[in-house]
Homo-oligomer: A and B are copies of this chain.
Amino acid sequence: MRPVDEKSVLSGWRARLHEIIFETDTIAGRLFDASLIAAIVVSVILVMLDSVAWINESYGRAIYAAEWFFTGLFTVEYVLRLVCVARPLKYATSFFGLIDLMAIVPSYLDLLVPGGRYLSVVRVLRVLRIFRTFKLFEYMTEGMYIVQAISASRKKISLFLIAILTLVVILGSLMYLIEGGENGFTSIPKSVYWAIVTMTTVGYGDIAPKSTLGMGLASVVMILGYAILAVPTGIVTVEMVHASASRKSSQACPSCCAEGHDIDAVHCKFCGSRLN
């Protein structure tokens, strides 16, 4: 991602274009990014509105035209990005490169498969570019911080998910046997779906137990889900405490050996000696 080294490889106009499209140091670069994000948000909103029946009837044609306008715009932008980057293949296979491609494909796909253009809401992922544009590096770090906490609990959470899935299959089957088809539990997969809806405390109510025994088992499932809800919260919280705890300097004072100094400390807070 270090475009500094790349620039020297690029000839005049490509280097200039690279500066505008990929960097955010110049005014032109920031302007480009800001209008890009605005275009993305507008185009996503258009796709969403297009799916509303009465809006589609009244303004369908205008929206259709606008969608193709944005698709054209993003296609041109994508080609320009490929042109002005030193290693096009590396960009094309990067996270943002793939999202940029996915943002234009559905519109063309729609010519083959009707309805496929609704998939272009995936463009909304391009909005994540906002973090880079507005130099929200601080946000980036915060994000890393959360990702790090989740990643550290990855194993515990997958273990937790396997346990939940096992539980949900067994509870769902039991409910299928107890309630049966006449109460909405028409098959085991549907009963498992009910168990998931219940344990996550979503509770649509489209399927609900009606027999006394079923209500009893459902109560157990709910209280279980209630208690289990505490586990992932606990996991993530502990990891976050860990991730944020390791911010004290590990340095001991060379004079009085006291520890626990802040990272920005210059002098020992107990004896006043200079820290290294």
Interface size class of A (residues with CB under 8 A): 35 or more
Please choose the segment from A13-21, A42-50, A67-75, A82-90 that sits at the chain B interface, where 4 or more of its residues have CB less than 8 A away.
A42-50
Q: Which residues of B contact A196 (CB under 8 A)?
A: 219, 222-223
A218 within 8 A of partner (CB): yes
Q: What mask results when residues 186 to 203 of chain A are scored 1 for a CB within 8 Å of chain B, else 0?
A: 111110110011101111
* Residue contact A49 to B169, C-beta cutoff 8 Å: no
Q: B222 contacts A146, CB within 8 Å?
A: no
Bound-state CA distance A162–B129 (Å) is: 12
Closest residue to A154 on the B side, CB-wise?
B142
| Contact (A156, B164) CB under 8 Å given A186-B53, A242-B244, A272-B274 | no
Q: Interface-forming stretch among A2-10, A28-36, A58-66, A118-126? A: A118-126
* A157 sits at the interface (CB 8 A): yes
Residues of B within 8 A of A130 (CB): 162
In chain A, positions 223-276 with a C-beta closer than 8 Å to chain B are 223, 225-227, 229-242, 244, 260-262, 264-274
Q: What CA separation (Å) do A155 and B49 show in the bound complex?
A: 30
Residues in B whose Cβ lies below 8 Å from that of A226: 200, 229, 232
Specify which chain B residues have a CB less than 8 angstroms from the CB of A234 in the assembled complex. 149, 233, 236-237, 239-240
Q: Are A177 and B274 in touch, CB under 8 angstroms?
A: no
A79 within 8 A of B: no
Q: Mark A107-140, 1 if CB is under 8 A from B, else 0.
A: 0000000010011011011011010000000110
Quick check: is A96 within 8 A (CB to CB) of the other chain?
A: no
CB distance from A198 to the nearest CB of B (A): 6
B201-A201 in contact (CB<8A): yes
Pairs A–B under 8 Å by Cβ, sample size 14? A44-B169, A48-B189, A48-B192, A53-B186, A122-B173, A125-B170, A127-B166, A139-B159, A157-B227, A233-B236, A237-B240, A237-B241, A262-B269, A269-B269
Further 17 A-B residue pairs, CB within 8 A, beyond A48-B169, A200-B225, A205-B205: A48-B173, A52-B189, A119-B173, A122-B173, A125-B170, A128-B162, A139-B155, A142-B155, A150-B231, A196-B219, A201-B202, A205-B206, A233-B234, A233-B237, A241-B241, A262-B269, A272-B274
